[in-house]
Amino acid sequence: MKAIQGEQYSYLIRLVSRIESFEVNAPNFSSQIIATWSTCLKGITLCDSAEPDHPC
């Protein structure tokens, strides 16, 4: 999950994936999947056509 604060609005980005059920302390997804999701979320930015520092 990623939150971004804009000038007028706040944005919440969430990646959702269907996986099989698992025990609380033993998730059944790999660290590679977590790294992929993390890389994807890091690439999401907010643009503002009025701000040269944040072009669209």
* pLDDT at residue 12, as a whole number: 96
* pLDDT at residue 21, as a whole number: 83
* pLDDT at residue 13, as a whole number: 95
* pLDDT at residue 22, as a whole number: 83
Question: Measured between alpha carbons, how far is 7 from 15 in angstroms, rounded to an integer?
Answer: 23
Question: Measured between alpha carbons, how far is 3 from 24 in angstroms, rounded to an integer?
Answer: 25
56 residues of the chain, pLDDT tens digit each: 999 998 889 999 998 888 888 888 887 778 898 899 999 999 999 888 888 888 88
Question: Measured between alpha carbons, how far is 41 from 15 in angstroms, rounded to an integer?
Answer: 8
Domain boundaries of the chain, sorted by first residue: 1-16+28-56
Question: Measured between alpha carbons, how far is 13 from 1 in angstroms, rounded to an integer?
Answer: 6
